[in-house]
Amino acid sequence: DQQVKQNSPSLSVQEGRISILNCDYTNSMFDYFLWYKKYPAEGPTFLISISSIKDKNEDGRFTVFLNKSAKHLSLHIVPSQPGDSAVYFCAARVNFGNEKLTFGTGTRLTIIP
Amino acid sequence: EAEVAQSPRYKITEKSQAVAFWCDPISGHATLYWYRQILGQGPELLVQFQDESVVDDSQLPKDRFSAERLKGVDSTLKIQPAELGDSAMYLCASSLRMGKDNEQFFGPGTRLTVL
Write the pLDDT tens digit of every residue in A45-61. 999 999 999 999 999 99
Chain A residues within 8 A of B101 when measuring between CB atoms: 32, 49, 51, 95
Among A55, A60, A61, which Cα is nearest to A74's?
A: A55
User: In Å, what is the CA distance from B112 to each residue of A84, A87, B13, B38?
Assistant: 27, 20, 8, 10
Dist CA B112 CA B35 (whole Å): 13
Q: Does B104 touch chain A (CB under 8 A)?
A: yes
Chain B residues within 8 A of A91 when measuring between CB atoms: 42
Q: Are A90 and A38 in contact (CB under 8 A)?
A: no
Q: What are the pLDDT digits (tens) for A3-46?
A: 999 999 999 999 999 999 999 999 998 989 999 999 988 899 99
Q: What are the pLDDT digits (tens) for B35-91?
A: 999 988 999 999 999 999 999 999 999 999 999 998 889 999 999 999 999 999 999
Question: Strand A10-14 to strand A107-112: parallel, antiparallel, or no bridges (unpaired)?
Answer: parallel
Distance from CA of A113 to the nearest CA of B (A): 26
